[in-house]
Amino acid sequence: MALDVTLPSGRPVVEILPVLAERLGGLGPDASAYGLRLTRGTGAPLDQSLSLEGQEVLPGAVLTLNRRRMDAEPRYDDLVEAVADAVSEQQTAWQPRDAVSMSIGATCLLFLAGGFMLMQLSPVDWFVPVCAGVATAILCLAVYAISQAGVAGAWAVAATAGVLAGITIYTGAQGSPLGWRLVLAGGGAAAALCVCIPALGRGRPIIAGPLLVCLALVGTACGSVLLGYSLPNVMAVVCALAAAVSLLAPWVSLASVPVAITLPDQPVGYRREDGGYRDHPSLTARVMSMHGLVLSVRVACSVIVLACTPILAGSGAAGVVLVAVVAVAGMLGTRAVRSQADVAAGVVGGMLILAVLALVVTALHPELIMIVVVIAGVMGLTILVLNVLGPSYRPRLARAADVLEIIAIASIGPLAALVMGVL
């Protein structure tokens, strides 16, 4: 819209814009939020704090009233509104589903605390196992109720039900703490998890981690009771197998996702028909399910190795080296993954294992405290220096890390055999 108007040359442009915009019909929500500006014929904007005369705008000049770009920073008349918009853009607001997830986490934590406190009591008149069994039944029913409501997080309740089922059998059975009681407890926990699996839907792969922990419990007890091996020997095998499962989990998960590859009959001039790749949503769901499985298995393997650390550290130098090598291999294995959750699980799990290993070693051998402190300090400085090096050093560091990872993986088996006394 073109308009021939006479503008006062001595007043600032900012005072002229509202009246001019009203005459041109340019006032609206977008103009109020992003603002307007006058530009010369060359496209150069005028300074709104100066007058037309001060900017050498001659009579008869052609000016254009433009709205500022939509991607420009909005202009506000209210400071509270500006702060609210800035906060909403930079921070995620609390949603109702977050409250539900928080309540599920709090419930699981309270039930777990109650279950472990029940283990401190002596099973008088079957009161302790009955209480744990009732809590297990309640949680199993809660899993189905949460799944029917379409709320995420049922897998956490299922895992808690498995723990309480194991506590129920462990406190109700008689015998050695590391014998048949542990075998039955691991089997009971696995049975409770299997009962909850049908209600989990897409969260079923996550239960692989808790089931792996149950299998480790049963295997440890069977190795000690049925085969008669000492606990450090059994722990060495369990630790080595957990490391192998953690390292192989991403590749097994990748191989388990079915991908159909079809080749066109006429490669020359071939054009894909509309509607192709209709299985993408299904494929994406399968990939995400397998990602949950890998993450669950990584966390479970870290927990298993962490539980084996005190026994292996007390068995001698070979056990200490085995735990350290498993932790290093787990951390270096995260370089081949992309997900932040996978990297965090591998690195945090490895660092926790090394920290517990250092604490156990210093508790058993106080004379080694200074040596462990020096090693920890050198490792911390080395990691810091390697992370701040320039890009020119990264290829050589990557090759060195590859060699170290291969050596660590290859030495897990021989170290486990050394702990068992085979080598």
Asked whether residue 296 falls in the same domain as residue 204, the answer is: no
Residue 206 is given by DSSP the state G
Residue bearing the bigger pLDDT, 285 or 408:
408
Asked whether residue 309 falls in the same domain as residue 397, the answer is: yes
Is the pLDDT confidence value at 273 over 70?
no
pLDDT of 277 reads 44
The reply to whether 269 falls in a domain is: no
Residue 94 is given by DSSP the state P
Question: How far lies 290's CA from each of 119, 260, 350, 380, in Å?
Answer: 35, 17, 22, 34
Asked whether residue 174 falls in the same domain as residue 310, the answer is: no
The residue segments making up the domain with residue 204 are 101-228
Asked whether residue 336 falls in the same domain as residue 365, the answer is: yes
Is the pLDDT confidence value at 302 over 50?
yes
Query: For the chain, what is the domain count?
Result: 3
| CB contact set of 210 (below 8 Å; sequence gap of 6+) | 158, 159, 162, 189, 193, 296, 300
Asked whether residue 327 falls in the same domain as residue 218, the answer is: no
Confidence of residue 274 (pLDDT cuts 50, 70, 90): very low
The reply to whether 96 falls in a domain is: no
Residue 190 CB-density burial (10 A; 0-12 exposed, 13-18 middle, 19+ buried): buried
Mean pLDDT of 177-190: 86
Asked whether residue 20 falls in the same domain as residue 105, the answer is: no
The reply to whether 26 falls in a domain is: yes
Asked whether residue 166 falls in the same domain as residue 59, the answer is: no
The reply to whether 61 falls in a domain is: yes
Confidence of residue 32 (pLDDT cuts 50, 70, 90): low
Residue bearing the bigger pLDDT, 74 or 101:
101
Q: What percent of the chain has pLDDT over 90?
A: 16
Q: Which of 66-70, 161-165, 205-209, 342-346 has the lowest mean pLDDT?
A: 66-70
Residue 45 is given by DSSP the state B
**Closest to 30 measured CA to CA, from 72, 1, 88, 62:** 72
Confidence of residue 63 (pLDDT cuts 50, 70, 90): confident
Is the pLDDT confidence value at 67 over 80?
no
Mean pLDDT of 41-67: 76
- Residue 353 gets the label, from left (phi > 0), alpha (psi -120 to 50) or beta, of alpha
Asked whether residue 106 falls in the same domain as residue 195, the answer is: yes
**Closest to 308 measured CA to CA, from 230, 248, 398, 239:** 239
Is the pLDDT confidence value at 284 over 80?
no
Q: Model confidence over 365-379: pLDDT tens digits? A: 888 888 888 988 888
Mean pLDDT of 111-134: 83
Instruction: Give CA–CA dist 257/209, Å, rounded.
Output: 19
Mean pLDDT of 269-281: 47
Mean pLDDT of 63-72: 64
Q: Over the chain, what is the mean pLDDT?
A: 79
Asked whether residue 298 falls in the same domain as residue 423, the answer is: yes
Is the pLDDT confidence value at 268 over 60?
no
Instruction: Give CA–CA dist 86/216, Å, rounded.
Output: 50
Which two structure tokens, joined as six digits, stand for 145?
């109720």
Mean pLDDT of 257-275: 53
Is the pLDDT confidence value at 308 over 60?
yes
pLDDT of 276 reads 46
Is the pLDDT confidence value at 76 over 80?
no
Asked whether residue 176 falls in the same domain as residue 309, the answer is: no
Asked whether residue 316 falls in the same domain as residue 364, the answer is: yes
CB 231 within 8 A of CB 311: yes
Beta bridge partners of 45: 39
**Type of residue numbered 56:** E
Confidence of residue 279 (pLDDT cuts 50, 70, 90): very low
Residue 218 phi, psi (nearest 5): -65, -45
Beta bridge partners of 36: 67
pLDDT of 43 reads 73
Mean pLDDT of 268-296: 58
Residue that finishes a domain, picked among 46, 81, 116:
81
Mean pLDDT of 242-263: 72
Which two structure tokens, joined as six digits, stand for 228?
């008669």
The reply to whether 276 falls in a domain is: no
CB 158 within 8 A of CB 205: no
Kindly tell me the number of DSSP H helices and DSSP E strands found in the chain: 14, 2
pLDDT of 390 reads 56
Mean pLDDT of 132-138: 91
The reply to whether 392 falls in a domain is: yes
Residue bearing the bigger pLDDT, 126 or 392:
126
Asked whether residue 328 falls in the same domain as residue 392, the answer is: yes
Residue bearing the bigger pLDDT, 315 or 274:
315
CB 328 within 8 A of CB 379: no
> What CATH number should be reported for the domain holding residue 41?
3.10.20
Which two structure tokens, joined as six digits, stand for 278?
């209709």
Mean pLDDT of 191-216: 88
Is the pLDDT confidence value at 106 over 60?
yes
Positive or negative torsion for Cα 258, 263, 269, 271: negative
CA dihedral in degrees (228, 231, 237, 238; nearest 10)? Answer: 120
Element (H, E) at 67: strand 64-67
Q: Which residue has the tokens 């969260």?
A: 203
CB 56 within 8 A of CB 64: no
Residue that finishes a domain, picked among 52, 81, 110:
81
The reply to whether 279 falls in a domain is: no
Instruction: Give CA–CA dist 406/66, Å, rounded.
Output: 63
Beta bridge partners of 38: 65
The reply to whether 117 falls in a domain is: yes
Residue 275 is given by DSSP the state T
Residue that finishes a domain, picked among 26, 53, 81:
81
Confidence of residue 138 (pLDDT cuts 50, 70, 90): very high
